[in-house]
Structure 1
Amino acid sequence: MTKPFLILQLRPETEAADDEYAAILRKGELEAAQTHRIRLDQQDLPDDLRLADYAGVIVGGGPGCVSDAPEDKTPQEARIEAAVLSLMPRITGEDIPFLGCCYGIGILGKHLGGDVAKRAHGEPVGTADCTVTAEAGDDPLLEGIPGRFAAFVGHKEALQDLPEGCVHLVASPTCPFQMVRYGANVYATQFHPEADAAGFETRIRIYRHKGYFPPETADELIAMCRAAEVHAPERILRNFITRYA
């Protein structure tokens, strides 16, 4: 590997951010030295940031929603959103390798002028029954992925339609647009490719009062996640790392 991956994190809760970063390293088979981690809740993007210096960009999840009205976003959420959006013209214009996870599909959709909203297709914390679409063809990020697989999800907003120029890669009955590609190298997933049961247990505990689920159901959700068989999504993350390293 000659260039590191740029990991942009949006979670203001240190335990959640650290757990997510560790999961990206573990599931992507990366060493910390092979990444440049920026927690956007704590620091701004460097003025001299050069995307050409990176093998690819990975955007993690977070509690913010791009579809919220400006007055409903905290100053921190607005600043984080603006920072990630500021990179998208270069990423999509130059077809720079990009993997947006959960929040990242909202960012890509908003940048492309798509309809990102809470009207439909939000999913409670748990698993989604995902299916690879016919349009996916032989997409390299789906190499080794079964035609049907389970993935961890939990989000309030979603793409309401397919943004112009995107290819629809993965669908589910509860949320049609689970994974899309723009150009040849720009990807986004609604599910969490880095997540496993232990990671979701951490997030359930941290976000139990953030409106994703009734707080009293937290223990039930944790038990459900522990029982779930979720393996394929991490292969998508590893395929991304392998392809662009």
Structure 2
Amino acid sequence: MTCVLIVKTGDAYPEVADQHGDFETLFLNQLNTALPAHLHLQVWDAKRHAKAPSLDTLAGIVITGSHSMVSEAEPWSEALKPWLKEALESDIPMLGVCYGHQLMAAAFGGVSDYHPAGRESGTHGVQLTQEGQQDPLFGQLPQRFDAHLTHAQTVLQAPASATVLAHNHHDAHQALRYGPRQWSVQFHPEFTPAVMRAYIERQRAALRDQGEDPGSLSANVMEAPEAASLLTRFLTFV
């Protein structure tokens, strides 16, 4: 088992994909910088190819973000839930991001849906809980770190068996752990500042409608190296 599977759950905006790469490319760029020689990366587009790879061939799983909504229960998305449950039961290392975070939470007994306070976009501070400070993956981060965020849905209710590792003023569930090597995060460790600004630009109207200042959000985008480090350090648990 030498394959780390990137589960692609959607496509980035066309201008983002053209200039910076699609979702899976952003993950490949980060993960390849620290990929051990015995591992290789593979991409599975779950929306376009229904047959899931056999779990006994996988050393780890990373689940991307998406413009889809978990609460819409699209057939391809619902089909991932039993597969993810089996992966958890088999103790396959997993890291879900944004849509992947919400999907894992929903698959394991939580509730994911629209955030009552609206969209969160931009570079924002994230705070570790006491459990997060003691977590094997998150414990090496500072107690507060910056992260890139863009989401309208969220984990409204974490699974009863999950541990909350991080939160912020907008979201009580910025990071969750479900098992010894299974995590998910609401923020985007794969994003660069340029990608984050491109998302804010695309969302200007929606952000203004909820009383946000897109110009200020864009001006406050900065590097988020601590959040980004989660991807490469995840590989040490594979």
Structure 1 stretches of at least 4 aligned residues deviating more than 6 Å after TM superposition: none
Confirm or deny that 1:64 pairs with 2:68. Answer: yes
Superposed counterparts of 1:33-52, under 5 Å: 34-46=40-52, 49-52=53-56
Consecutive unaligned residues in structure 1, runs of 5 or more: 71-77
Task: Pick closer, same or farther for the CA change 1:9–1:146 going to 2, 3 Å.
Answer: same
Residue aligning to 1:9: 8
- d(CA) in 1 for partners of 2:233 and 2:206? 30
Which of these residues, 18, 23, 27, is aligned with residue 26 of structure 2? 23
Contact 1:121 1:158 in 2 (8 A): no
Question: How high is the TM-score relative to the length of structure 1?
Answer: 0.81
Distance, in Å, in 1 between the alignment partners of 2:104 and 2:196 is 24
- For residues 13 and 176 of structure 1, do their structure 2 counterparts lie closer, same or farther at Cα, with a shift above 3 Å needed? closer
Residue 176 of structure 2 is aligned to residue 151 of structure 1: no
> Percent of aligned pairs with the same residue?
24
Determine which of 219, 222, 228 is the counterpart of 1:234.
Answer: 228
Q: 1:218 to 1:10 in 2, by over 3 A?
A: farther
Relative to total residues, which structure has the larger strand share, 1 or 2?
Answer: 2
SS where residue 140 of structure 1 aligns? coil
TM-score, normalised to structure 2, is 0.83
Q: Distance in 2 between matches of 1:141 and 1:13?
A: 27
Which amino acid in the other structure matches residue 7 of structure 1? I
Contact 1:5–1:36 (Cα < 8 Å) also in 2: yes
Shift of 1:98: 0.7
Deviation at 1:14, TM superposition (A): 7.5
The answer on whether the counterparts of 2:133 and 2:139 sit within 8 Å (CA) in structure 1 is: no
Query: How many positions carry a matched residue from both structures?
Result: 228
**Structure 2: runs of 5 or more not aligned:** none
Over the residues paired in the alignment, what is the CA RMSD in angstroms?
2.7
Name which of 55, 59, 62 aligns with 2:59.
55
Q: Deviations over 1:28-59 (max 9, x none)?
A: 2256x82111123332234xx22121221100
Paired with 1:125 and 1:14, the residues of 2 have a C-alpha distance of 15
